[in-house]
A and B are shown apart, each in its own frame.
Chain A
């Protein structure tokens, strides 16, 4: 089966085109921006894990990474700044059969969206969160983000940042995520594999991808272009699967600890909710498909059409 799948794809051209809205290409991302690279890994993961694309929904927020929703040929929702996760929560709860992916950036997910990030992790809502972390607010012109490393130059810290920055894997692990990994855009195959693994998990899965923003973060901090950054990722990344997330903090030019940090099991929100209701209500509990009844239901009035 898999061999013929490979043949089919190679005959069809670029594998990623299967999930791209090719009628919207070329995209708006800058030369060397890592977001497109993450989409390649995402596409690879979808192919390899044989996910039914018809039951996959992708939700994004606002920002450069938020634009991913508009470029993928899936049921996709470009929502408001910071609120992809609660939107995705409602979507998943209304239709638990959906595989719901949240694809958004570091500012969107950890600043304005920070509250929702930690609560969804706490609740273990069954969402797959891909957080592209370019250490900056890129779309709006390069402002400081909670993830911007110390002593970086940004447009809102023109004399250099001095705030401590978030260690996102540590944050989401503490909040309760069951799967936590970090890669960079250099680690394309490992990233695809992590995304595939996340699809198999039940619960809140968080994958951080460190990515270049050559136009703003790298340029303002004289860190070279995308190629230079990718060489830095290659040279300074240390793959430490299972490493304690507390040790995974980032600096501007230091080591980048990558790998799969957390992979644990605990029941997801939906499972706990159903168990609690069943326990409390017994036969009275109606666990039901909440979707609006289809028009073909029996109680629909017949229409007469000439």
Chain B
């Protein structure tokens, strides 16, 4: 029995397992490529089914949309360079409601401008992807040099209480693979996903293998099958995520950034606010186990665990290996999902290890989350860097050695 006529509860609720589809071959550049992270991200978006991008030029992200502008007229879609990031970040949402998968690409200063519209995407539950190729800041900062200093902004940059998902690739290959994951998570949870690249990952050229389209799993849009009479734009199934309709399908739905009820009608009262905002939060938090992706290595029996992400994880790898050569028991936890933060994993490890070492290309951002989740059961050591380059492995090694000497709490 085909899904299009099935309205049984389990069909609606189990969409993420039962409704997998595969990539549209028109957007998949199957083969082995030697390309940089920005270009790989574009290919990931196309493979994921993105057919609309709105952008504004900003170093070091511009190549993503430049490639998209060249590719998409041959794949079937639209790129428009808008007049500013404020316009780009909302034009893509209009496109989503018009039926497309859509994204935008930016760096620090543009990311700051997009904050209001990230909040709008959260509140209206518009599935989309915001790519931030992080560079040195604050303000105009270092346009051509890396940093990882937008991590807290990705989580807290817009006003109000909300949750988003943020992913951190550490290679051009991951820029391809995880962009697809980003779109899939966006569709599954009807939330904007922050794709937190950095300038080095964006501009490093490595081998990227793009598989055949039928090997790429795609999460389709949660497109409602209900009748016009029965459809509630913000009514939810068991997992707290409503079904979507697009403009032009006859549903006559209303979408607003105001606090709203299940009909989508503005209803600015405390009970409705409580229900809505808590649901927006819990639809992500309740699924944290599935959303939190990480790479772990030798955590069993480790005394020190190095927690890192993005380009820093590549440098940290060398430091970890050097530490192990010295006989230290060092585990690795590489965050692929930065938000929601994998606090459960950290809490479990904190009970067993002496210390965490958190190198970041910033003056301390994710380290605060590690410390919070460790909750005093293990020490936390930051290895900060103001940005503009990457750590030297010996700078991280030095802190690993220091951490391994600390007393167990």
Contacts and interface: CB of A to CB of B under 8 A. Distances in A.
Assess A/B contact in the complex (Cβ within 8 A): yes
Interface of A: 21, 24, 53-55, 57, 59, 69-70, 73-80, 82-83, 86-95, 97-98, 115-116, 119, 273, 277, 281, 284-296, 299-305
B257 A75 contact: no
Given A90-B91, A281-B74, A75 B252 contact: yes
Interface stretch (B14-22, B60-68, B139-147, B294-302): B14-22
11 contacts: A21-B265, A75-B251, A86-B54, A98-B247, A285-B74, A286-B75, A290-B100, A292-B101, A294-B223, A295-B223, A302-B1
Most buried by B among A57, A82, A86: A86
B99 A292 contact: yes
A57 to B, nearest CB: 4
Interface string B250-267: 111111111000000110
A108 to B, nearest CB: 13
Interface in B1-20: 1-4, 6, 8, 10-11, 18-20
Nearest to B266: A70
B363 interface: no
Contact of A286 (B76, B100, B253): B76
Interface residues of B, number: 67
Contacts of A75: 247-249, 251-253
Contacts of A300: 2-3, 19, 21, 220
B4 A296 contact: yes
B231 interface: no
A93 B78 contact: yes
A79 B90 contact: yes
Contacts of A98: 98, 247-248
A225 to B, nearest CB: 28
A293 B25 CA distance: 13
From DSSP, what is the main secondary structure of chain B's interface residues? mixed
Contact of B1 (A53, A289, A291, A304): A304
B254 A83 contact: no
A115 B223 contact: no
B206 interface: no
Contacts of A293: 24, 220
B73 A119 contact: no
B90 A95 contact: no
Given A75-B248, A93-B52, 20 more contacts: A70-B265, A77-B256, A79-B90, A90-B93, A91-B97, A95-B99, A115-B84, A277-B73, A286-B75, A288-B51, A289-B76, A290-B100, A292-B100, A292-B101, A293-B24, A295-B3, A295-B223, A303-B1, A305-B10, A305-B11
Nearest to B83: A119
Contacts, number: 203
A98 B249 CA distance: 10
Given A57-B247, A86-B91, A292-B220, A76 B73 contact: no
B114 to A, nearest CB: 11
B246 interface: yes
Given A90-B102, A93-B98, A290-B99, A76 B254 contact: yes
Interface in B207-258: 220-221, 223, 225, 246-258
Contacts of A288: 51, 76-77
B8 A292 contact: no
A76 B22 contact: no
A292 B77 contact: no
B304 interface: no
Contacts of B247: 57, 75, 77, 91, 95, 98
Contacts of A90: 52, 54, 80, 90-96, 98, 102
Contacts of A86: 54, 82, 86-88, 90-91, 94
Contact of A284 (B74, B99, B220): B74
A54 B248 contact: yes
B391 interface: no
